[in-house]
A = this chain, B = another copy of it.
């Protein structure tokens, strides 16, 4: 910022100003504000002729009411869109990532929610859509969307994450989105799956439910019955409005904390069985080939994880002095208990602030006030969840699992900050 009067000629007052922020900032941040906002008021000479002058956009009426019946972001934010990796086969591994480095808070707006589909996005008429529930049940049933909407509803904020987020091999993504953008969080509304199953009546031998999507891939996954009778939901709304087509309109399965692809979109069938289906997506895909040649399968829960989103790869610190380190932490197993941040390449760790409310199986925003001294360094975060699990390093993960697969990489991710302020993916060094 710029002092409105005499700023450049009054060093004492400038120093006082920094000390002021130092005091108040310390009350908020609790640590690491030594140096205050040093650097924040540099290179602002050009603004002195602006306010209180009247800018152009105050001199005539703006856009009239109704120019957008369904709103859109500012034209100045047109670069904040889904991040679509090049060279991914369109109908096999297509994915569009959330631009994590451009977002704040924990809610992902529906327009930027990550997407991942295996046969394209179907356009489904909700009046024609049906959900069939059959197999090891007393009363096989077919539901219309109207039927589903008549059940008692519930709403919860949960994250969703693709299990291939990120890969294990170099080159790793340049930005937080490249690396970890198959991750989003929303408020979901729907009906408890347990309630719907009670309507059909499970037979005693029911141990799995095979869920099938109404897309061209007929994506199919087997869900253990315990999860179906716990917090699983049939979801029709996301952040207040009906699901977007990319998120399964008009109906998807929501399995809080489970890997993304199991949350079957465009849900058309629940087949109650005694054994899993061993479908393509749980055998050739979404399993981890271990160094001994065996495969980890049916891993379900996403382990505790975190990533710093600001500053992160592709960004640049404009000056020394105060910067807030901010990021996201989450765990498929429940609530985040603590996030540690290191600003010295992992030698020491400081506890970050967690933004309330801390919700189970939702993203949690963490923050650490930081005074950057202008020297090259590496920053990183590690999450600890309510089970006591600590997010591992990539080296620890590779030592156990090898890199002969694509999934379930929840390693700590370091960002390198160069003397000039450029932030890059330290794991690519």
Check A121/B63 contact, CB under 8 A, given A13-B139, A108-B240.
yes
Q: Find out whether the CB atom of B82 lies under 8 angstroms from the CB atom of A121.
A: no
CB distance from A53 to the nearest CB of B (A): 9
CB distance from A148 to the nearest CB of B (A): 8
Check A21/B199 contact, CB under 8 A, given A28-B152, A50-B130, A237-B104.
yes
Cα distance, A323 to B249, chains bound together (Å): 23
Q: Is A55 located at the chain interface by the 8 A CB criterion?
A: yes
Q: Find out whether the CB atom of B357 lies under 8 angstroms from the CB atom of A58.
A: no
Q: How many copies does the complex hold?
A: 2
Contact flags A151-163 to B (C-beta < 8 A → 1, else 0): 1111100000000
CB distance from A312 to the nearest CB of B (A): 14
Q: Which of A94-102, A288-296, A401-409, A410-418 lies on the face that meets chain B? A: A94-102
Interface residues on chain A, number (Cβ under 8 Å): 139
Residue of B nearest to A115 (CB): B65
Check A152/B65 contact, CB under 8 A, given A40-B147, A123-B74.
no
Interface residue from B52, B240, B246, B323 paired with A269 (Cβ < 8 Å): B52
Cα distance, A135 to B67, chains bound together (Å): 37
Contact flags A344-385 to B (C-beta < 8 A → 1, else 0): 000000000001010100000101010000000000000000
Which B residues are CB-close (under 8 A) to A73? 70, 110, 241-242, 244
Cα distance, A357 to B16, chains bound together (Å): 42
Cα distance, A355 to B156, chains bound together (Å): 9
Q: Which of A186-194, A203-211, A272-280 lies on the face that meets chain B? A: A186-194
Interface residue from B77, B153, B322 paired with A324 (Cβ < 8 Å): B153
Contact flags A17-39 to B (C-beta < 8 A → 1, else 0): 10011011100110000000100
Q: Is A395 located at the chain interface by the 8 A CB criterion?
A: no
Q: Is A84 located at the chain interface by the 8 A CB criterion?
A: yes
CB distance from A217 to the nearest CB of B (A): 9
Check A142/B1 contact, CB under 8 A, given A51-B268, A123-B74, A359-B357.
yes
Interface residue from B17, B51, B125, B188 paired with A132 (Cβ < 8 Å): B51
Contact flags A126-146 to B (C-beta < 8 A → 1, else 0): 101111101000111111101
Which B residues are CB-close (under 8 A) to A117? 62, 65
Interface residue from B115, B122, B125 paired with A58 (Cβ < 8 Å): B122
Shortest beta-carbon contacts, A-B, top 7: A62-B120, A4-B140, A65-B94, A104-B189, A24-B198, A57-B122, A105-B155
**A–B pairs, 20, beta carbons within 8 Å:** A1-B141, A44-B142, A50-B130, A52-B269, A55-B128, A57-B124, A57-B215, A58-B215, A59-B216, A61-B216, A62-B215, A64-B120, A73-B242, A77-B242, A102-B241, A105-B239, A106-B155, A106-B240, A112-B240, A357-B357
Q: Report A's interface with B, CB cutoff 8 A.
A: 1-5, 13, 16-17, 20-21, 23-25, 28-29, 37, 40-41, 44, 47-48, 50-52, 55, 57-77, 80-82, 84, 88, 90-91, 94-96, 102-113, 115, 117, 119-126, 128-132, 134, 138-144, 146-147, 150-155, 186-189, 192, 194-195, 198-199, 201, 214-216, 218, 236-237, 239-246, 249-250, 266, 268-269, 318, 322-324, 326, 355, 357, 359, 365, 367, 369
